[in-house]
Amino acid sequence: MTLLSTLLAFAVAIGVLVVFHELGHYSVARVCGVKVLRFSVGFGRPLLKWTSGPDKTEWTLCALPLGGYVRMLDERDPSQAVSPEDRPRAFNRQPVAKRIAIVAAGPVANFLLAIVLYTGLNLAGVTEPVARLAAPDAGTVAARAGLAGGELITGVRERVDGGDLGEAAPVRSWEDLRWKLVDPLLAGERVTLVVRAPGGTSEYSIDAGGVPLDATGEDDFMQRLGLVPSARVKVGSLLPGGAAEKADLRVGDEVTALDGHPLASAKALVDAVHAHAGRPLTLTIKRDGALRDVTLVPVADAADAGAPVGKIGAALASQMEMVTVRYGPVDAVSKGTQRTWDVTAFSLKMLGKMVIGQASLKNLSGPVTIADYAGRSARLGLDYFIAFLALVSISLGVLNLLPIPVLDGGYLLYYAVEAITGRAVSERWQSALQRIGLLCILLLSAVALFNDLSKLLR
| CATH code where residue 207 lies | 2.30.42.10
Is 22 tagged catalytic?
yes
Please give the pLDDT value at position 215: 45
52-62 burial, b at 16+ Cβ within 10 Å, e below that, comes to eeeeebbbbeb
Alpha helices in 356-407 (DSSP H): 367-380, 382-401
Q: Report the 3 state secondary structure along 128-159.
A: EECCEECCCCCCCHHHHHCCCCCCEEEEEEEE
Instruction: Of 137, 139, 161, give the one whose Cα is nearest residue 149.
Output: 137
Q: For residue 326, count other CB atoms closer than 10 A to its CB.
A: 15
Q: Are 222 and 237 members of one domain?
A: no
The CA R_g of the chain, rounded to the nearest whole Å, is 28
Q: Residue 404 in 3-state DSSP?
A: coil
Residues 6+ apart with CB under 8 A from 2: 375, 379
The answer on 342 and 458 residing in a single domain is yes
* Residues facing 204 on adjacent strands: 193
Where a domain ends, among 292, 320, 348? 320
Claim to verify: residue 316 and residue 244 sit in the same structural domain: yes
State whether 351 and 441 are in the same domain.
yes
Can you give the pLDDT of all 458 residues of the chain as single tens digits?
Answer: 577 888 888 888 988 999 999 999 999 999 999 999 999 998 888 889 999 888 899 999 988 877 889 999 998 888 888 888 989 999 999 999 999 999 999 999 999 999 999 999 999 998 888 998 888 888 888 888 888 888 899 998 876 655 556 678 889 999 999 888 887 777 777 888 999 877 788 888 887 665 655 544 445 678 888 888 888 888 888 888 888 888 888 888 888 888 888 776 777 888 888 888 888 989 898 888 889 898 988 888 765 556 788 898 888 888 888 889 999 999 999 999 999 999 999 888 888 888 887 777 777 777 777 777 888 888 888 888 999 999 999 999 999 999 988 899 999 999 999 999 989 888 888 888 889 888 988 888 888 778 777 776 65
The model's pTM: 0.83
Q: Are residues 177 and 257 in the same domain?
A: no
Write phi, then psi, for 217 (nearest 5 degrees): 90, -10
- Residues 389 and 404 occupy one common structural domain: yes
The SS3 assignment for 209 reads: coil
Whether residue 343 is found in the same domain as residue 432: yes
Let me know: does 203 contact 157? Beta carbons within 8 Å.
yes
5 falls within a domain: no
Beta strands in 24-74 (DSSP E): 36-52, 57-72
Q: Based on the fold, state whether residues 354 and 437 are members of the same structural domain.
A: yes
- Domain membership of residue 48 (yes or no) is no
Task: Write down the pLDDT at residue 72.
Answer: 94
**Whole-number Å distance between alpha carbons of 33 and 23:** 15
> Using a CB cutoff of 8 Å and minimum separation of 24, what contacts does 335-340 make?
335/118, 335/119, 335/122, 336/114, 336/115, 336/116, 336/117, 336/118, 336/119, 336/121, 336/122, 337/115, 337/118, 337/119, 339/114, 339/118, 339/179, 339/390, 340/111, 340/114, 340/115, 340/118, 340/390, 340/394
What's the first-to-final CA gap in the chain, in angstroms? 22
Based on the number of CB atoms within 10 Å of its own CB, is 132 exposed (0-12), middle (13-18) or buried (19 or more)?
Answer: buried
Instruction: Give the CB-side neighbour count of residue 406, counting CA atoms within 13 A.
Output: 12
129 and 320 Cβ atoms separated by less than 8 Å: yes
| Number of separate domains in the chain | 3
pLDDT at 216 (0 to 100) = 43
Same domain (yes/no): 148, 113: no
If we measure between CA atoms, which residue out of 312, 301, 159, 291 comes closest to residue 236? Answer: 312
Q: Spot the catalytic one: 22, 128, 151, 245.
A: 22
280 close to 296: Cβ distance less than 8 angstroms: yes
Q: Give yes or no for a contact between 320 and 127, defined as CB atoms under 8 angstroms apart.
A: no
Q: Which of 190, 181, 188, 197 is nearest to 147 (CA)?
A: 197
- Decide which of 264, 287, 320 is a domain's last residue: 320
Expressed as residue numbers, the domain containing 201 is 129-229+321-325
**Shared-domain flag, residues 102 and 170:** no
Of 269, 304, 325, which residue constitutes the final position of a domain? 325
